[in-house]
Amino acid sequence: MPGLTRHLALISTKVMKVSILMGSKSDWDVMSAACETLESFGVEYEKKVISAHRTPQYFMEYMAGLRDRGFGIVIAGAGGAAHLPGMAAALTTLPVIGIPIRSKALNGMDSLLSIVQMPSGIPVATMAIDGAKNAALYAVAILALQDDALATKLAIFREKQAEKVLTTEL
Binding residues for ligand RP5, rule: CB under 6 A, are 22-24, 26-27, 51, 78-80, 101
Q: Which is nearer to ligand RP5, 16 or 88 (CB)?
A: 88
Nearest one of 70, 73, 81 to 21, comparing CA atoms: 73
Q: How far is the CB of 21 from ligand RP5 (least distance, A)?
A: 9
Cβ 39 to ligand RP5, closest distance in Å? 22
State how far the Cα of 139 lies from the Cα of 33, in Å rounded to an integer. 13
In the complex with ligand RP5, the residue whose CB is nearer, 14 or 104, is 104
Give all strands of the β-sheet with 45-49 in edge-to-edge order. Answer: 45-49, 17-22, 71-79, 96-101, 125-126
- For ligand RP5, the closer CB: 23 or 42: 23
The residue among 130 and 143 lying less far from ligand RP5, judged by its C-beta, is: 130
How far apart CA 76 and CA 87 sit, in angstroms, is 10
Judged by CB, which is closer to ligand RP5: 31, or 154?
A: 31
- Residue 157: beta bridge partners? none
Query: Smallest gap, in angstroms, from Cβ of residue 85 to ligand RP5?
Result: 10
> Min. distance of Cβ 27 from ligand RP5 in angstroms?
5
C-beta of 52: minimal distance to ligand RP5 in Å?
8
Q: H-helix or E-strand containing 137?
A: helix 132-144
- Calpha distance 32→50 (Å, rounded): 15
